[in-house]
Amino acid sequence: MHDDRAVAVLREVADRQETAGHGWALDGDLRPVKQRVFNLAGRGLVELAGREDRAELSAWEGRPVRWAARPTPCGHALLVYSRLRPQPAPDDPGPGLRRVELIPAQMTALRLFVALADQLRVPPASGLAERVRGARREQGTNRHVLYLSPEQMESVAYGFWLHSMSGSALEANRFARDYDVAHDPAPATETPALLAVHDTVDDTTAYRAELSARVDEPVLSDDPVLQRDLQLPDSWWEDLAGTLEKVAAVDTDRVAVRQQYMDRAIPEFVGIPAPAVTRWTAAHSDLHWVNLTAAPLRLLDWEGWGRAPEGFDAATLYAYSLLQEDVAARVHDAFPVLGSPVGLAAEATVCAQLLQTVARGDNLNLEDQLRHWSEELRRR
């Protein structure tokens, strides 16, 4: 019997069983499909009533019951599976859907992504799991065909990005190349779009190259330490503060600052025990004037982003502004976390980092300002 017919007959047996008070589908109801029911019994999908069961059913019905059937556990499992069985992708996808062809490696990564839906804080887009189950293998090719909405396309790119962070980047790169959709892990719109990622391993060293969209706007300084006054509008400072709020809201396992470093460096270079971190947040972690543009605002050089004490980016920008008192004051005004108890851990960490570079012979023009800042931190 063809499997679709088998499932249809099995479903009829199950439906009759559910409506019967005694839990069996009876001969009178199944007479037109008797032979098919018996065939299902031969395949282990249906149980036929034995002599004692038929006697009880005859007494229940008030007539002779010659045979009765009900699905076996395997039959029930087949019915459950058939309801979830992938349906072939339609030839006409309908409006708003895009035809996507994926190679086997991409399908493997995508199936893993949708299988982990219950464990992800950002789950796959609505309907994506059904699209993945319904993907069809294109005849004559090694491609799987899906029809996806724009939201599902973005979700696929996110799944491939997750795969690239813990495995191969081929799937994400190919998807970005073929469909111009890539996931950018930094949430702010003021970051250059991430176009591709390439990973390679040489002996025990892993390398990663990232290709981002070209930024034509000039940066605000040729030196991380600001050497001249900047007159930036209030809107620019508001945009920067808003962008850093978006970054801080990102949940990530990447690490920019380690507690072990704070415990060692802050006492050594600032002269106080490492302050307790009230809250760890995501940070750009290298926010100085070479990595900023003016119109429009762009934040560049993201390879070091990760978790750091709250206020770390603001403290970093403040430190690199110390030669320009007006700009440093403007940074302080733009970020209320600076000077607060919450921001003390971030400020002490940044101050220690830069005083450590001074000890190595770098950023010597900042030494006096950094030592004055460390004195202020010791008094807080």
> Does residue 218 lie in a domain region?
no
> Does residue 358 lie in a domain region?
yes
Given a contact cutoff of 8 angstroms between Cβ atoms, the answer to whether 334 and 241 are in contact is: yes
Confidence (pLDDT) at 276: 96
165 and 77 housed in the same domain: no
244 and 364 housed in the same domain: yes
> Does residue 342 lie in a domain region?
yes
**DSSP H or E segment with residue 354:** helix 344-359
Instruction: Using the 3D structure, point to which of 22, 54, 84 is the last residue of a domain.
Output: 84
- What whole-number distance in Å separates Cα of residue 297 and Cα of residue 190? 6
Pairing mode, strands 98-102 and 144-148: antiparallel
The token duo for 167 is 């495995």
- Structural domain range at position 105: 98-183
The CATH number of the domain holding residue 39 is 1.10.10
> Does residue 22 lie in a domain region?
yes
> Does residue 282 lie in a domain region?
yes
The sign of the torsion formed by the CA atoms of 165, 169, 171, 176 equals positive
79 and 108 housed in the same domain: no
Confidence (pLDDT) at 166: 76
Confidence (pLDDT) at 165: 80
Confidence (pLDDT) at 282: 94
Strand blocks (E) in the chain: 25-26, 46-48, 68-71, 98-102, 136-137, 144-148, 194-202, 205-212, 280-283, 306-309
Confidence (pLDDT) at 189: 46
> Does residue 273 lie in a domain region?
yes
Instruction: Using the 3D structure, point to which of 183, 218, 249 is the last residue of a domain.
Output: 183
- What whole-number distance in Å separates Cα of residue 148 and Cα of residue 213? 25
Our CA angle for 37, 43, 44, nearest 5°, is 90
363 and 260 housed in the same domain: yes
* Cα dist from 27 to 45, 56, 71, 193, 329, whole Å: 17, 14, 14, 67, 90
The token duo for 153 is 């396309």
The CATH number of the domain holding residue 365 is 3.90.1200.10
Find, among 278, 275, 274, the residue nearest to 263 by Cα: 274
Given a contact cutoff of 8 angstroms between Cβ atoms, the answer to whether 293 and 375 are in contact is: no
> Does residue 209 lie in a domain region?
no
- List the pLDDT tens digit at each of the 380 positions of the chain: 446 788 889 999 999 998 888 899 999 999 989 999 999 988 899 999 999 999 999 989 899 999 999 999 988 888 887 776 555 555 556 678 999 999 999 999 999 999 999 888 788 999 999 999 888 887 778 899 999 999 999 999 999 988 988 778 889 999 999 999 988 765 444 667 777 778 888 888 888 787 877 887 899 999 999 999 999 999 999 999 999 998 998 888 889 999 999 999 999 999 999 999 999 999 999 999 999 998 889 899 888 899 999 999 999 999 999 999 999 999 999 999 999 999 999 999 999 999 999 999 999 999 999 999 999 999 98
Given a contact cutoff of 8 angstroms between Cβ atoms, the answer to whether 345 and 309 are in contact is: yes
> Does residue 76 lie in a domain region?
yes
Q: Is the peptide bond before 296 cis (omega within 30 degrees of 0)?
A: yes
15 and 130 housed in the same domain: no
One DSSP character per residue, 156-187 reads: HHHHHHHHHHHS-SHHHHHHHHHHS----SS-
Number of domains in the chain: 3
- What whole-number distance in Å separates Cα of residue 369 and Cα of residue 380? 17
* Cα dist from 19 to 13, 29, 365, whole Å: 10, 12, 87
